[in-house]
Copies of this chain bind each other. A is one copy, B any other.
């Protein structure tokens, strides 16, 4: 590997001069600077990121932490979409990304230790158990952190607006004439709590008394659970006319239960999902869903993280809400 030393020898200048020339310092003569830059290019010089990081204490590397309880990891398409967008924005700003350890079994370091060991300039946290002491340790540390879909007081967060999203979706379903609306929601997280509260609040505002028998706690992205609860709902004496699911994946499980009963969507029963991602979006009939803006979530998270790294003084702790978009689809029927 060609180093600054090689360039300095070829140019007959000191290593310090090479460093300054390549970093465009003002105290190097124009001619020397140009010559050094040319020689560096000709010799195929590349900075050594380890050496630079050692001295400057900056790696231009961002850590990504996600530990999905279901071990779905990258296969989790909501997260994959957010991460993909995060990555693009990070790269546009000269940062690379590294995963902070996720396989808990073989873990030898805490997340914070791992981040410090790798010297990441900042960490984005998503899709984790936000009550995990290791996560809290990381959030409390001096390392710049941005969390996605969960807010802590001490760090900036970028959050999909689940309250507004659920309101829009519920309002839409109500507008279509439904009053007995079931909701098979995910397990207990702040996302779930927000959506559920918004769901019930929206119903109340419309003068519909929430029927808690129609609300089932499933798991996110679990077709078996949604299949089971859909069956339970369909077997009620007074079944719902519409079922909302925690996500589009879970909705598929519900569709299977509905089909098995010989019912069809949306003629006999209406359904709606959440996320608006991937394969579910190309199914026919088109699925009604609330599309979260994963693109924006990821890129805003990256921007905020980079700002808090590069301008720590001027960056303040914020909670940024990202709006989504209702996808009306064809699975909610107008009734009455």
B-binding residues in A (CB < 8 A): 1, 46-51, 53-54, 59, 61, 73-75, 77, 80-81, 83-84, 87-88, 91-92, 96-99, 101-103, 106, 109, 113, 116-119, 223, 248-249, 252-253, 255-256, 259-260, 278-280, 282-284
Contacts and interface: CB of A to CB of B under 8 A. Distances in A.
A244 to B, nearest CB: 18
Given A48-B117, A50-B53, 16 more contacts: A1-B116, A46-B113, A61-B98, A74-B83, A74-B84, A75-B81, A75-B278, A77-B77, A87-B99, A88-B103, A91-B106, A92-B103, A97-B99, A248-B279, A249-B282, A279-B280
Contact of A284 (B81, B84, B106, B260): B260
A73 B284 CA distance: 25
A223 B97 CA distance: 31
Nearest to A79: B74
12 contacts: A47-B117, A50-B59, A50-B119, A51-B54, A75-B81, A75-B278, A91-B106, A92-B106, A98-B98, A248-B279, A252-B279, A278-B279
Contacts of A280: 279
Nearest to A279: B279
A46 B117 CA distance: 6
Given A50-B53, A53-B50, A97-B98, A84 B73 contact: yes
B77 A75 contact: yes
Given A53-B50, A280-B279, A91 B80 contact: no
Contacts of A92: 103, 106
Contacts of A47: 117
A51 to B, nearest CB: 5
Given A50-B59, A96-B99, A118-B49, A252 B84 contact: no
A301 to B, nearest CB: 15
Contacts of A255: 284
A279 to B, nearest CB: 4
A238 B17 CA distance: 77
Question: Which of the listed residues A47, A48, A282 has the most CB atoms from chain B within 10 Å of its own CB?
Answer: A282
Contacts of A84: 73-75
A278 B282 CA distance: 14
Question: Which of the listed residues A1, A73, A109 has the most CB atoms from chain B within 10 Å of its own CB?
Answer: A73
A49 B279 CA distance: 41
Contacts of A249: 279, 282
A249 B98 CA distance: 29
Question: Which of the listed residues A81, A84, A248 has the most CB atoms from chain B within 10 Å of its own CB?
Answer: A84
Contacts of A46: 109, 113, 116-117
Nearest to A282: B223
Contacts of A74: 74, 80-81, 83-84, 87
B48 A119 contact: yes
Contacts of A80: 74-75, 80
